[in-house]
Amino acid sequence: MSSIRLLVLGAVRQHGRAHGYQVRNDLEYWGAHEWSNAKPGSIYHALKQMAKQGVLLAHEVAPSTVGGPPRTEYELTDAGREEFFRLLREALASYDQKMDVLSAALGFMVDLPRAEAVALLRDRLDKLAGWRASATEYYTPEEGPGQLGHIGEIMNMWVHSADAEAEWTRGLIARIEGGAYVFAGEGEPFVGVLADGEENPFATGERDPGDDL
């Protein structure tokens, strides 16, 4: 699964009610266009799709004051709130080598209780260990390694990457357990969206890292 549904649900949720362009702006504000597939087409598609599936409720709205075609505003249904937390938990707990999903989940992790966030991250550590084990085993069949040649480098890369992610995960768990950040039910929640009309202070022209490919 890509991160688009989680990002869109999270954006609409923080606004209470939002139209496509607002969501699109928030995602840019979060830098999501740099590390996820959050293109306009995907965002509008996700909104419509999720409205059709009943996790969002669509409101037709009078043509906006600022020009452009008529907007549609969306708001989460109860099913939408459930879906948001389901995706969030899944993203935090499972290792699936998609950094964009994890990035999105980090942005929303404080919507969970502190203890649950930690538990999910520990779950992630377990899954990382499992993946590491299966990678080493797959590339080390009966005859032992050695005649694998350069193919062994693929395994080596995966192991290196799993180890690095495990280390980072342990660090994050330590920070959270050490009292960092404000989690659900602990006071004034963090506000991470642009107010209507507010401009994005981080707006970038073109500065993509990988760019093509």
Partner DNA sequence: GATGAGGTAATCAAGTTTGATTACCTCGCG
Partner DNA sequence: CGCGAGGTAATCAAACTTGATTACCTCATC
Q: Which residues bind a copy of itself (CB under 8 A)?
A: 1, 30-31, 34-35, 90-91, 94-97, 99-103, 106-107, 109-110, 127, 130-131, 134-135, 138-139, 141, 149-151, 153-154, 156-158, 160-161, 164-165, 167-168, 171-172, 175, 180-182, 190, 192, 201-202, 204, 207, 209-213
Query: Which of a copy of itself, DNA, none lies near 164, with the C-beta cut-off 5 to 8 A by kind?
Result: a copy of itself
Query: Which of DNA, a copy of itself, none lies near 42, with the C-beta cut-off 5 to 8 A by kind?
Result: DNA
Q: Is 41 helix (H, G, I), strand (E, B) or coil?
A: helix
Rounded to the nearest whole angstrom, what is the least distance from the CB of residue 182 to a copy of itself in the complex? 7
Contact between 80 and 86 under an 8 Å Cβ cutoff? The reply is no
Query: Which of a copy of itself, DNA, none lies near 30, with the C-beta cut-off 5 to 8 A by kind?
Result: a copy of itself
- Looking up tokens 């993509």 gives 208
Identify residue 119 by its one-letter amino acid code.
Answer: A
- Looking up tokens 């022209």 gives 205
Query: Which of DNA, a copy of itself, none lies near 68, with the C-beta cut-off 5 to 8 A by kind?
Result: DNA
Spatial CB neighbours of 25, under 8 Å, sequence gap ≥ 6? 194, 200
Rounded to the nearest whole angstrom, what is the least distance from the CB of residue 49 to DNA in the complex? 4
Q: Is 201 in the site for DNA (CB under 7 A)?
A: no
Instruction: Return the residues of window 24-83 that contact DNA according to CB under 7 A.
Output: 37, 39-42, 44-46, 48-49, 63-72
Angle at 90 between CA 84 and CA 188, to 5 degrees: 50
No. of helices (H) and no. of strands (E), the chain: 8, 3
Instruction: Report residue 210 CA to chain centroid gap.
Output: 19
